[in-house]
Homo-oligomer: A and B are copies of this chain.
Amino acid sequence: MRDGPDIARIASLVGDPARANMLMALMDGGALTASELAVEAGVSLPTASSHLSKLMDGGLLALASQGRHRYYSLSGTQIASMLESIMGVAAAVGPRRTRPGPKDETMRVARVCYDHLAGEQAVAMLDGFLARDILVVAGEIVTLGPAGKEFFATAGIDIAALSGRRRPLCRSCLDWSVRRSHLAGALGAAILDHIMDRKWARRLPGSRAVRFTPPGRLAFEGVFLPPR
């Protein structure tokens, strides 16, 4: 017996291919039913159900019952963070079994991570925020900088409405594809909503990848990235 938290218990939950696929499918922050997750994992419904109850016992999933549907989702951003961290190792040490195809390219540029934007675009955005004192960072904690309040007001994001919650306004989240951090937290989620509401980008069906439309990309860069 060793000290410290029971890391093997958590890791073994993620260590089964079927469960890993389910978790990956939930990485976009959405909620899926047991049947949908069974398809994602490529197993039968009973098998999926068994896995789901294990993941629930382990505390990795949250459950929302709505009528005869039971929606499963990741139980928090911390879970998504851990999964991205494991993905980082897997991408680094693993054999390049998935050589960068067109979809992977899109995924590297922009994708959804739990409920916020990840990938090169997201990393560039956070870097820009920090460079322009819109955000400042200490450790994992990211907070509004001197230029922040005004910036988000003109960008059309209501900071005040976001700050009330228990959830931290900003957080950083390590990116498996670029090995840099991007913006998570309530603000990260709000920005993703902003992008989707304006249809600047659309989700690729059945994937976490996000493809910007040409005008959408220009709009996004104009509002959220620093001028070059």
Residues of A within 8 A of B (CB): 1-17, 19-21, 23-25, 40, 42, 58-60, 75-76, 78-79, 81-83, 85-94, 97-98, 103-104, 107, 123, 126-127, 130-131, 137-141, 172, 174, 176, 179-182, 207
State in angstroms the CA–CA spacing of A125 and B213 once bound together.
44
Number of copies: 2
Write the nearest CB–CB distance from A22 to chain B, whole angstroms. 10
Write the nearest CB–CB distance from A129 to chain B, whole angstroms. 9
Using Cβ atoms and an 8 Å threshold, which residues of chain B touch A138? 126-127, 130-131, 137
| CB <8 Å contact, A3 and B87 | no
User: Which of B15, B87, B91 is A15 in contact with, Cβ under 8 Å?
Assistant: B15
Write the nearest CB–CB distance from A122 to chain B, whole angstroms. 10
State in angstroms the CA–CA spacing of A174 and B171 once bound together.
12
User: Which of B3, B25, B78 is A92 in contact with, Cβ under 8 Å?
Assistant: B78
State in angstroms the CA–CA spacing of A92 and B93 once bound together.
27
Using Cβ atoms and an 8 Å threshold, which residues of chain B touch A2? 21, 24-25, 40
State in angstroms the CA–CA spacing of A10 and B81 once bound together.
16
Using Cβ atoms and an 8 Å threshold, which residues of chain B touch A7? 14, 20, 23-24, 83, 86-87, 90
Using Cβ atoms and an 8 Å threshold, which residues of chain B touch A21? 2, 8
User: Which of B59, B82, B94 is A6 in contact with, Cβ under 8 Å?
Assistant: B94
A-B contact pairs, 18 of them (CB 8 A): A2-B25, A4-B107, A5-B94, A6-B90, A7-B14, A7-B86, A8-B16, A9-B90, A10-B90, A11-B15, A76-B92, A85-B85, A86-B86, A127-B138, A130-B137, A137-B137, A139-B182, A174-B174
